[in-house]
Amino acid sequence: MSEIEKIKNQFFSKLEEAKDLEKLNQIKSELFGKNGIISNQFKVLATKSDEDKKTFASELNTLKNDLQIIISKKVEKIKIEEINKKLENEKIDVTLPERSFRIGKIHPVSQVIDEISSIFSEIGFSVEEGPDVENEYNNFTALNTPKHHPARDMHDTFYLDEDKKTLLRTHTSPVQIRTMLKGKPPFKIIAPGRTYRSDSDQTHSPMFHQLEGLHIDQDISMGHLKGCLNYFIKEFFEIDKIKMRFRPSHFPFTEPSAEVDIGYEIKNDQIVIGEGNKWLEILGCGMVHPNVLKNVRVDHKKFQGYAFGIGIDRLAMLKYGINDLRAFFECDYRWLNHYGFDPLDVPTNYRGLSK
C-alpha cells in the first residue's frame, strides 16, 4: 500500500470517529500543522524523481482536498448538532400554566382606621400614637380613675408585673396623657391603636382596637363635641342625615360624660344607619375632667375641651357587615380574601350593611 493510501485509510476512519470540534481540530493539526503528516508529504514530494513527482503530487493534492472537504463537512455537522442539543435543553414550554400568585388584602380594621383618620384630618385633627405596654399612671391614675375602680381589677386588666405597675393598655385614653404631657395646648388629636382586656366571646376579643379623640382649646363646649361627632358619623357611614343621641353616662376622666347612640332600622335583612327607631351605642365621650388637665399641668381655668373613645372593630363590623368579632383576628386567609380590601382599588362608597 502506498504511503498516500495508508494516510487515507488511517485518517478517514479517525475522522469518522471524531465526535466533537476539539477532536477535529486535533486531527486537523496532525494533518496540516507545521510538522503535520500532509505537510511532511509535501517535503517528501521534493525528493521524488521527476517521473514519480507528477503522480505523487496529484495523489497528494487529491488526498489533501478530500481530507479538507471531509473535515469542513464534519465541522458543519457537529456545529448543527450542538445547536440542536442546546435548543433541546433550553426549550421553554410556553403552554405551561403560570405560577399562581396572591395579591395581599388590606384588613378591614386597617381600612377603617385609614378612613376614620382621613375624616378627622379634614377638620384639623392630627394622629398620635402610644405604646401597647403602658404604665399604671397613664392608663388609670392620670385619667382620674380611683384605686377601687373595677377597671383596675385583675379580671379585667392584663398586668405585666405583680406590683400592677405595668400593663397592656385597656384603652387608648393614655395617649391623651402622653400628648398633653409632651406639648402645650391647644391639642386636637386622634389616636388609633390596639387595646387589651381580659374578655372573650362573639362580641369581645382580648385584643381590640379603639380610636381616641381629644380637643382642648379655649372656649370649647359640648356643642363642639356634638358637631364633631355628627360630622364624623355622617362621613363615615356616607349618609346625609343621622339620628344621634347623647345618653348620660360615667367615665372618671370626663365630666359630664355621655354615650352616643345612633339610630338604625333593619330593612330587607340589612341594617340601615340613620333611620328608624332602634338605637345602637357606638362611642363614649365627654368634657375632659379638670383633674385630668391638672395632672398634665394644663391650666383648666383657661383651657377645656372634649374627648371621645370609639370602638373601631365595632364600626368596621357595622359598616362592612361582618358578624363575628373573633374572625378579625383569626388570620384566616379566606376570611381576609372575602372581607379585605384590594390595596389598588379601595372602595369609597358605602356598601350597605347586613344584620
Binding site for ligand DAH (CB under 6 A): 171, 173, 212, 251, 254, 284-286, 307-309
CA distance 205 to 328: 9
Q: How far is the CB of 173 from ligand DAH (least distance, A)?
A: 4
Closest CA to 284 of 320, 242, 304, 255: 255
Which residue number has the CB closest to ligand DAH? 309
For ligand DAH, give the closer residue by CB, 74 or 171: 171
**Which of residues 31 and 190 has its CB atom nearest to ligand DAH in the complex?**
190
Q: Which CB atom, from 4 or from 128, has the smaller least distance to ligand DAH?
A: 128
**C-alpha closest to that of 168 among 144, 201, 138:** 138
My answer on whether omega of the bond before 174 falls inside 30° of 0, hence cis, is no
Residue with smaller CB distance to ligand DAH, 111 or 254: 254
Closest to ligand DAH by CB, 205 vs 254, is: 254
Query: 256: closest CA among 211, 306, 200?
Result: 306
Q: How far is the CB of 219 from ligand DAH (least distance, A)?
A: 19
Nearest distance, CB of residue 316 and ligand DAH, angstroms: 17
Q: Which residue lies nearer to ligand DAH by CB, 15 or 211?
A: 211
Q: In the bound complex, what is the minimum distance in angstroms from residue 102's beta carbon to ligand DAH?
A: 36
What whole-number distance in Å separates Cα of residue 262 and Cα of residue 282?
7
Lookup: cell for 305 = 375641651
Nine cell digits for residue 61? 493534492
The torsion angles phi and psi of 334, rounded to 5 degrees, stand at -65, -40
CA distance 181 to 272: 41
Minimal distance, residue 306 CB to ligand DAH, in Å: 7
Closest approach of ligand DAH to the CB of residue 205, in Å: 14
- Cα-Cα-Cα-Cα torsion 126, 132, 138, 139, nearest 10 degrees, comes to 110
Is 314:109 a contact under the CB 8 Å cutoff?
no
